Amino acid sequence: MTVQTIDTEKIKQNTDLTVLAGRYTTLRRESAVEMAGPCPRCGGDDRFHVKADWFFCRQCNAKGGDAIAFMQWLNGYSFPEACAALSSGSLPAVTNGIATPKKQAKQPVYTLALGNAQQIAKAASTALLDSPGGEAGRAYLESRGLYSEAWETFGLGYSLASLPGTWNEETKTHSTPKQPAICIPWALGNGTIPAIRYRFIATQAYTDTNGKLRTEKQTAQFGSAFGGRLFGGCGLSGPGDGRSLVLTEGEINAMSVWQATSGAVDVLSLGSESAQLSESAIKAIQRYSRVIVWVDKESVARGCMRAFPGALGFKSPNDKDANDWLQAGVLHELIQELIERCK
C-alpha cells in the first residue's frame, strides 16, 4: 500500500497568512510584520491579529496557529481538507486588501448563517420535489434506490454547485459553469443548518485555475462548518425504547439504512473518513443501547470503537457499502442481522 504524505511545510511556506486572512476580513497595518482587524468568526474591532505565519484572536482563539490551523478553525475543516484547500487554490476572492483605520468597517462572520442556509436548503428542496428542472436530481436519487420519503426527511434538494478551485480572481466569478448537484443540508435537531454538502449528479473531471487536473464527486457551500458535527440529526428519534443506531461514513449510506429500516433504526454519518467526533456527539451516541459502526477505514473504526465500548464494528462486505446493498434489496436483512449480533 502506498502511503501519501502531506508536505505541510511547503503549504505553510507558500501561504502568507496576512493575504489569506484578508480574504475573510478587513485588515489594517499594525507594524511592519503584523496586521489586525475584526475577527472573521466573532467580529469585534481589532481583536484579530495576523502575521505571515501566525494568527490569534484575543476573544475566541488566543492560542492561534498557522495557516492550516486557520482554515480548520474558521471553516471547520479537517486537517486534510484544510491542506487541500490551501494547496488547490479553492479559496474565496480577496475581499478587501489593506484598509486604513478610518475606513475600517465591521465585517460579517463568514460562516453559513442560519437564515441563508435555510433559504438555500428550501429553494433546493422545492426544485427537487416540485420543479420540472429537478427531474435530473430525482432520477439520480431514484437510481441510488432512495425514495421521496427519505428525500423529504433529510431535506434533500437539487441545485447548481460550483466546482472547487475554479474561482477567477480577475472576473470575480467561477471560471467553470456550475454543475447540477444534490443539495444535502446538515440539519440539526434544533433546525439549524451549519453545513451544506453538494453531491454532483455526475463525477466532474476538469482543470482548475492553477492548471491542476481534478476529479470531484462533491463540494460544499462556502462557510459550511462540518467539524465535530454529524449528518442525520434531523431524522433522529432518540435512544429511547432500546433503539439501535448505525454510524456510517457517507450521508447517502446513512439515508439508505434509514430507508431500509423504515426509520426504525437511527442513523448518523461522519460525512467523510477524516471527520472527528466532538465530545457532545460521543455522549449522544453513548446513550444508545446498541451501536453499529459501519466504516471501512481501520483507523476510523478503531477510534469509534474506543469511544463506544461494546459497539459492533462492521466493514462493508465485498467492498459494497450500505447504498449498494439497498439497491440490491438486502440491506434490511443485513441491518437486522447486525442488530441481533449486538444483543
Which of 74, 103, 132 is the last residue in one of the domains? Answer: 103
In a domain, 228, yes or no: no
Mean pLDDT value of segment 25-40: 80
pLDDT computed for residue 112 by the predictor: 57
pLDDT computed for residue 98 by the predictor: 38
Report d(CA 205, CA 222) in Å as an integer: 21
Q: What is the pLDDT of residues 273-294, one digit of tens each?
A: 666 677 888 888 999 989 999 9
- Helices and strands, counts by H and E, the chain: 12, 15
Q: Give the other-Cβ count within 10 Å of 114's Cβ.
A: 12
pLDDT of residue 333 exceeding 90, the answer is yes
Rank 22-26, 293-297, 323-327 by mean pLDDT and report only the highest: 323-327
pLDDT of residue 220 exceeding 80, the answer is yes
Mean pLDDT value of segment 61-81: 87
Per the CB < 8 A criterion, the answer to whether 184 and 198 are in contact is yes
Confidence of residue 100 (pLDDT cuts 50, 70, 90): very low
pLDDT of residue 3 exceeding 50, the answer is no
Looking at the structure, tell me whether residues 206 and 257 fall in a common domain.
Answer: no
The larger pLDDT score, comparing residue 9 to residue 112, is at 9
CATH code where residue 145 lies: 3.90.980.10
Report d(CA 127, CA 149) in Å as an integer: 16
Residue 13: give the domain boundaries. 8-103
Angle at 144 between CA 271 and CA 218, to 5 degrees: 40
Domains contained in the chain, number: 3
In a domain, 327, yes or no: yes
Looking at the structure, tell me whether residues 270 and 326 fall in a common domain.
Answer: yes
Q: What is the pLDDT of residues 191-217, one digit of tens each?
A: 889 889 999 999 999 987 778 888 999
How far, CA to CA in Å, does 44 sit from each of 19, 20, 177?
A: 20, 19, 36
Which of 197, 181, 141 lies closest to 327 in space, CA to CA? 141
CATH code where residue 284 lies: 3.40.1360.10
pLDDT computed for residue 273 by the predictor: 65
In a domain, 2, yes or no: no
pLDDT computed for residue 59 by the predictor: 74
pLDDT computed for residue 129 by the predictor: 93
pLDDT computed for residue 60 by the predictor: 79
pLDDT computed for residue 114 by the predictor: 60
pLDDT computed for residue 282 by the predictor: 87
In a domain, 227, yes or no: no
Among the ranges given (79-83, 242-246, 255-259), the one the predictor scored with the smallest mean pLDDT: 79-83
